[in-house]
Amino acid sequence: MKNAHSLQPFWENVEKALRLQHYFQRMPMHSLSVSGYTIHLGALAEALPTLWLQGQWSAIAVVCDENTYMHCWPLLQPLLPAHLALHLIVIPAGEAHKNVHTCVRIWEDMLRAGLERSALVINLGGGVLGDMGGFCAATFKRGLDFVQIPTTLLAQVDASIGGKLGFDFGGVKNSIGVFRHPIAVYIDPAFLHTLPERELRSGFAEVIKHALIADAAQWEALRQAPLESAVHNEEVILRSLRVKQAIVEADPYEKGLRKALNFGHTIGHALEAWALDGPLPLLHGEAIAAGMMAEAFLSWQLSGLPEADLEGIVQFIRRIYPLPTLPETSFEQLIALMRHDKKNTGGHISFALLPAIGQVQVDSFADEAAIREALCWYNTVL
Ligand SMILES: NC(=O)c1ccc[n+]([C@@H]2O[C@H](COP(=O)([O-])OP(=O)(O)OC[C@H]3O[C@@H](n4cnc5c(N)ncnc54)[C@H](O)[C@@H]3O)[C@@H](O)[C@H]2O)c1
Ligand SMILES: [Zn+2]
């Protein structure tokens, strides 16, 4: 844990970071309401002051990883109120650290900082950081208020909204966790300018998913726009956010409709977990991109997705992502991993499939033979 006095070396980054805020062609602020909290989309400097009207906290703990400490903390730090005790908790970056050991480190730092239940936790980072920092805040002393400030595209359009928190356990993604909502989410696309290109593409997979399941017009727009302009476009983020917001609002605890967000994820999560142990780990969105291809095939086979749309999806995803070939020897393990998916019911592997672009059918089941065929087909179209 670092205390406020060790921040001096980062002041030189503050000016640079603040300049980034002006890089964007800024849209007016947007506020979306979901499950009783507000998602603010726009400049952090403009939006964050509303937070201090929402409550009175005894202290602030900012949780970041080593990268967001370097690149994002300088943007946030000048916006925090000077009168509150400030504690910084910096954890190692990356999915490989999304485990109970890192949570123990966060809880230990919270204890050492003497955080009371009246403290506020601010999670500054991507989906890994937000899921874990949120989980630790939600469980420490039976729950502290927390705010999500997502700094990756993936976290901005997806992970920071909906209240799912947790970490990987026993080789299974997100197998330990809780539902708990933040008190607010602040999305500032200016953070994305320091995000590595590979991470941007990874996050873009969730933008593609939202378009495919619920926004056919956005899908057409994405297909026509050059990738560079699509990923740096606040309007694209807003439309994508609206899909997630509407689905989460309709089904906050994943009893039904929310399973729609699982398109690409039954196979994608298995690929992500499988690759974690291999020499070339996949980023979440890369795994989901491959998963969307295989599940688009299942959609064509089982749910009536027109063949032309299947081809459109394959061409678009292939253009953007380097995709792994799957050795046939991995199929058993992949199917075993799919069996662990929390969305399965009655022992069947459950999918969200597309009957058409912009529509989704939850609780679609595919047997092992169909899944194997989809994985074989995926290898042939790479
Ligand atoms: N809770 C949910 O509903 C939900 C939904 C989707 C995904 N997820 C989870 O999200 C995770 C993936 O999230 P992610 O892709 O954001 O990964 P991540 O949090 O690991 O961030 C990716 C990398 O980018 C770095 N980084 C973050 N912001 C940066 C910035 N602005 N500039 C420079 N570097 C930056 C991070 O340090 C990390 O190295 C997965 O664990 C997945 O399970 C959760
Ligand atoms: Zn995802």
Tens digits of per-residue pLDDT, 15-70?
444 444 444 456 789 999 998 999 999 999 999 999 999 999 999 999 999 999 99
Would residue 40 show up in a list of annotated catalytic residues for this protein?
A: no
Q: Which of 62, 128, 195 for a ligand 1 pocket mutation test, highest count of atoms within 8 Å of Cβ?
A: 128
Catalytic-labelled residue, pool 5, 12, 83, 142: 142
CA 18: distance to chain centroid? 24
Ligand nearest to the Cα of 164, by number: 1
Q: Which atom of ligand 1 is nearest to the CA of 269?
A: 43
Would residue 258 show up in a list of annotated catalytic residues for this protein?
A: yes
* Closest alpha carbon to 237 in 195, 283, 201, 187: 187
Q: Which of 13, 23, 67 for a ligand 1 pocket mutation test, highest count of atoms within 8 Å of Cβ?
A: 67
Across the chain, mean pLDDT equals: 92
pLDDT at 1: 43
Backbone dihedral region of 275: left (phi > 0), alpha (psi from -120 to 50 degrees) or beta?
A: alpha
CATH fold, domain 2-194, is Rossmann fold (3.40.50)
Encoded tokens for 11: 């002041």
Q: What's the CATH superfamily of 197-381?
A: Dehydroquinate synthase-like - alpha domain (1.20.1090.10)
CATH fold match for the domains 2-194 and 197-381: no
pLDDT at 15: 45
Report how far apart, in Å, the C-alpha atoms of 352 and of each of 57, 93, 187, 196, 294 are. 41, 31, 27, 30, 12
Would residue 269 show up in a list of annotated catalytic residues for this protein?
A: yes
CA 354: distance to chain centroid? 21
Catalytic-labelled residue, pool 173, 210, 244, 259: 244
pLDDT at 26: 62
* Closest alpha carbon to 122 in 214, 51, 202: 51
Query: Which residues in the chain belong to E strands, given as ranges?
Result: 2-3, 30-34, 37-41, 59-65, 85-91, 120-125, 145-150, 164-169, 172-179, 184-187, 350-353, 361-365
Looking at residue 170, the DSSP 8-state letter turns out to be: T
Report the alpha-carbon distance of residue 298 to residue 159 in Å, rounded.
Answer: 25
Q: Which atom of ligand 1 is nearest to the CA of 166?
A: 1
94: phi then psi, degrees, rounded to nearest 5: 110, 155
Would residue 198 show up in a list of annotated catalytic residues for this protein?
A: no
Does residue 142 contact residue 117 with C-beta atoms inside 8 Å? Answer: yes
Would residue 254 show up in a list of annotated catalytic residues for this protein?
A: yes
Encoded tokens for 306: 């027109």
| Domain ranges across the chain | 2-194, 197-381
pLDDT at 20: 47
Q: Which of 284, 321, 337 for a ligand 1 pocket mutation test, highest count of atoms within 8 Å of Cβ?
A: 284
In the reported structure, the alpha carbon of residue 287 is separated from the centroid of ligand 1 by a whole-number distance in angstroms of 14
Ligand 1 pocket, CB under 6 A = 65, 67-68, 71-72, 93-95, 98, 125-129, 131, 151-152, 154-155, 158-159, 162, 164, 173-174, 191, 194-195, 199, 202-203, 284
DSSP, collapsed to helix, strand or coil, labels residue 125 as: strand
pLDDT beneath 50: ranges in the chain: 1-24
Does residue 273 contact residue 295 with C-beta atoms inside 8 Å? Answer: no
Backbone dihedral region of 220: left (phi > 0), alpha (psi from -120 to 50 degrees) or beta?
A: alpha
Report how far apart, in Å, the C-alpha atoms of 355 and of each of 162, 214, 299, 359 are. 25, 11, 6, 6
Encoded tokens for 95: 């999915």
Q: pTM for the whole thing?
A: 0.91
Does residue 366 contact residue 339 with C-beta atoms inside 8 Å? Answer: no
Q: Which atom of ligand 1 is nearest to the CA of 173?
A: 43
